[in-house]
Amino acid sequence: MAPHFTNGRGTEQRFDVNLSILFTELPLLERPAAAAAAGFDAVELWWPWTDTPTPPGAELDALRKALDDAGTQLVGLNFYAGQLPGPDRGALSVPGEESDRFRANIEVAADFAAATGCGALNALYGNRVEGVDPRAQDELALENLVRAARAADRVGAILLIEALNKPESPLYPLVSAPSAVEVVDKVNAATGLGNAAFLLDLYHLSMNGEDLNQVIDRYADRTGHVQIADNPGRGAPGTGSLPLDDLLGRLRKAGYTGWVGLEYKPGDRPSAESFDWLATGA
């Protein structure tokens, strides 16, 4: 069953489901089959093992088998980012143990992406740390992002850089589209690979008060992946006030034909019941 759905304007979108925020009422290994039963054959994940960047091979194999058995394609995967959901917002710019854990995860995540055919790896930047020079964190971040970009390139994947939102992530430094794209440019300049791209999350950018139409017009050609949730509430499309149907149409008109990840909270209902908006559009 293909994850292509026609919105209210007759425009076809390629939606995938983030299994780290939807279907979390189920054990991890049951979520791919649940997504398939709901009509999706593409999924994405935050790094599932929040306590370790290097889980046992048997656990990696079990997740890969669950994806294969369900007929679901993994199209996006986060590198290790600490406790998500939770207080952490990435690890790669955090000096000491967290940065070391990110580095230990780079090849593990890249190899898992290769084994599953995943084409996009997301590297969350990490929070500012009290008492540490932000310039030192930025230098560490660039060093680790260069490593990640090279690992992604080795397995034929792109590296995604994401802006979060300041109200919910006040210590995260990338809280605008320009700030994230600036890092994308620095990584591409440092590697010469050109495989770093912007992860355009309409929910986070709307929470920052950005003009979403302008962001799309300016950065659609720099965008490697899109994620959506409505605002306010981070619920399913139609539960808030974002004109997601119009925004997705604008993205397509601007040339974006990639995946759109559903990264919203299902609310007080089972995740499988949170896709009714697909019948009428976003």
Q: What is the pLDDT of residue 279?
A: 82
Catalytic site residues?
162, 263
Mean pLDDT, residues 153-165 taken together: 98
Q: What is the rounded average pLDDT of the residues 120-136? A: 98
Q: Average pLDDT, stretch 186-198?
A: 98
pLDDT > 70? residue 3: no
Fold for domain 4-279? Answer: TIM Barrel (3.20.20)
Instruction: Indicate whether 224 pLDDT > 70.
Output: yes
Region 50-55 average pLDDT:
97
State residue 282's pLDDT score.
Answer: 67
What is the pLDDT confidence band of residue 4, given thresholds at 50, 70 and 90?
Answer: very low
| Three-class secondary structure assignment of the chain | CCCEEECCCCCEEEEEEECCCCCCCCCHHHHHHHHHHCCCCEEEECCCCCCCCCCCHHHHHHHHHHHHHHCCEEEEEECCCCCCCCCCCECCCCCCHHHHHHHHHHHHHHHHHHHHCCCEEECCECCCCCCCCHHHHHHHHHHHHHHHHHHHHHCCCEEEEECCCCCCCCCCCCCCHHHHHHHHHHHHHHHCCCCEEEEEEHHHHHHCCCCHHHHHHHHHHHEEEEEECCCCCCCCCCCCCCCHHHHHHHHHHCCCCCCEEECCCCCCCCHHHCCHHHHCCC
Between 206 and 9, where is the model more confident? 206
Confidence of residue 121 (pLDDT cuts 50, 70, 90): very high
Q: Residue 19: its pLDDT value, please? A: 98
Query: What pLDDT does 220 receive?
Result: 98
Statement: residue 272 has pLDDT above 80? yes
- Reported pTM: 0.95
